[in-house]
């Protein structure tokens, strides 16, 4: 019993169909050449609010009864979940409150507000974020929408893989980033259901490999040091219980990528796929381009999970990394 099965993801897909973008599955000869295998990229950076997070946030919020969400939604995030939650609230016509660290980049705060979301800041490293969310939810009667550790968040996230495998049933290996683990869990459940022989690999940044450490230890383990990685969306310290229950059972393995692997993949996506991909969103692609994922035959599917990066940061990250020479996109 994993707490998540294929029907959960199919139910989420039906709910998301009228509101989410069916993101494209992109291919390029240059990518196949660089990877050494046929590769298909699910471009979730083109999802509404710029990442796959909208799928889970909307599905979770829409699954609540009108009464449960009547006073509004609340969640904590310094990244893509924040805007996803704001849009979910807007579409469901209830207020959304997002708890964001006070050192978050101004565009992220503005992004949430532009969608009608309410921003509450906390002092990172000082305030108890989850306590603040719980206390405010209790006081104002708000429904908490977690960023990963929820059956419905996992189910919503898994719909991207469902679409990808419907478009490309020939995929034999699926590669997804692992942060909170919701995307990996939802993807693994649906992929093993629709393509029983498929292998599913998670990718973590070298400086935030809590799921890999936990797999090696056979139990949920917190990293001894705080995560250090440019992939800020994947910098988790410890797998969440619900996602761990799925991922520890279904993932065929987890590989890690360096910051340099990540920026090379971001540059590759810019040049050959014409996509803006944030560091966390580029990790699965990075693992493929760096030849880190075990694969012996057939097509590889990759989830490009988000594009939440501004141009100055993007340019700084790419130019700080010597780029490999690559052939042209086709």
Nearer to a second copy, 55 or 272 (CB): 272
**Is 108 tagged catalytic?**
no
Note if 237 is an active site residue. no
Sign of the alpha-carbon torsion through 204, 205, 206, 208: negative
Contact with a second copy (CB under 8 A) among 277, 284, 287, 300: 277
Given 179, 202, 208, 235, the catalytic residue: 208
User: Of the listed 8, 44, 206, 210, which one is catalytic?
Assistant: 210
In this structure, are residues 305 and 54 in contact, taking their beta carbons and an 8 Å threshold?
Answer: no
**Local structure of 142: helix, strand or coil:** coil
- Is 210 an annotated catalytic residue? yes
**CB-nearer residue toward a second copy: 42 or 152:** 42
| Radius of gyration in angstroms for the set of CA atoms belonging to the chain, rounded to a whole number | 18
Q: In Å, how far are 203, 260, 308 from 290, measured between CA atoms? A: 12, 10, 23
Reduced to 3 states, what is the DSSP secondary structure of residue 171?
strand
Q: Which of 17, 110, 135, 140 binds a second copy (CB under 8 A)?
A: 110
Q: How many residues bind a second copy (CB under 8 A)?
A: 45
Alpha-carbon span 262 to 287, nearest angstrom: 8
Among 50, 89, 207, 208, binds a second copy (CB under 8 A): 50
Q: Which residue has the tokens 């660089």?
A: 34
Q: Which of 8, 44, 77, 78 is catalytic?
A: 78
Q: Within its chain, how far is the Cα of 254 from the centroid?
A: 15
Query: Residue 96, SS3?
Result: strand
Stretch that binds a second copy, among 108-116, 119-127, 171-179, 194-202 (CB under 8 A): 108-116
Q: Which residues in the 237-276 window bind a second copy by CB under 8 A?
A: 267, 270-276
Residues near 116 by Cβ (< 8 Å), separated by ≥ 6? 86, 89, 90, 95, 96
Determine which residue in the list 45, 173, 195, 214 makes contact with a second copy, applying CB under 8 A.
45
Asked if 156 interacts with a second copy (CB under 8 A), we say: no
Determine, following the binding rule CB under 8 A, whether residue 48 of this chain makes contact with a second copy.
yes
- Of 31, 61, 87, 303, the residue at the interface with a second copy (CB under 8 A) is 87
Q: Compare residues 83 and 290 and give the one whose CB is closer to a second copy.
A: 83
Is 208 an annotated catalytic residue?
A: yes
Which range in 15-23, 143-151, 158-166, 231-239 contacts a second copy by CB under 8 A?
15-23
Position among 118, 193, 310, 313 found at the interface with a second copy (CB under 8 A): 310
78 is catalytic: yes
CA distances from 143 to 80, 150, 300 (A): 19, 13, 38
Q: Which of 236, 254, 233, 241 is nearest to 188 (CA)?
A: 254
Active site residues: 53, 78, 204, 208, 210, 305
């Amino acid at each position: 019993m994993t707490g998540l099965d294929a029907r959960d993801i199919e139910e989420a897909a039906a709910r998301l169909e009228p509101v989410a973008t069916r993101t494209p599955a992109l291919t390029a000869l240059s990518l196949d050449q660089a990877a050494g295998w046929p590769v298909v990229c699910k471009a979730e950076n083109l999802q509404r609010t710029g990442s796959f997070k909208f799928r889970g946030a909307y599905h979770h919020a829409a699954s609540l009864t009108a009464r449960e969400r009547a006073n509004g939604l609340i969640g904590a995030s310094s990244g893509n979940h924040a805007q996803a939650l704001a849009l979910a609230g807007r579409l469901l016509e209830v207020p959304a409150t997002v708890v964001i660290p006070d050192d978050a980049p101004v565009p992220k705060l503005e992004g949430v507000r532009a969608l009608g979301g309410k921003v509450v800041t906390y002092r990172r490293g000082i305030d108890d974020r989850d306590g603040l969310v719980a206390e405010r939810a209790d006081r104002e009667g708000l429904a908490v929408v977690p960023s990963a550790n929820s059956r419905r968040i996992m189910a919503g996230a898994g719909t991207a893989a469902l679409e990808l495998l419907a478009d490309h049933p020939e995929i034999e290996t699926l590669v997804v980033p692992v942060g909170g683990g919701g995307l990996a869990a939802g993807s693994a459940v649906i992929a093993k259901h629709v393509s029983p022989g498929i292998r599913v690999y998670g990718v973590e940044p070298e400086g935030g490999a809590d799921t890999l450490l936990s797999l090696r230890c056979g139990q949920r383990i917190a990293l001894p040091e705080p995560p250090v990685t440019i992939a800020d969306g994947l910098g988790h310290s410890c797998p969440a219980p619900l996602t761990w229950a799925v991922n520890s059972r279904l993932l065929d393995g987890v590989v890690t990528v360096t910051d340099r692997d990540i920026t090379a993949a971001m540059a590759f996506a810019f040049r050959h796929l014409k996509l803006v991909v944030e560091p966390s969103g580029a990790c699965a692609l990075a693992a493929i381009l760096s030849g880190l994922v075990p694969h012996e035959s057939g097509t590889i599917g990759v989830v490009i999970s988000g594009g939440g990066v501004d141009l100055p940061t993007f340019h700084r990250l790419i130019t700080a990394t010597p780029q490999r020479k690559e052939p042209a996109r086709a």
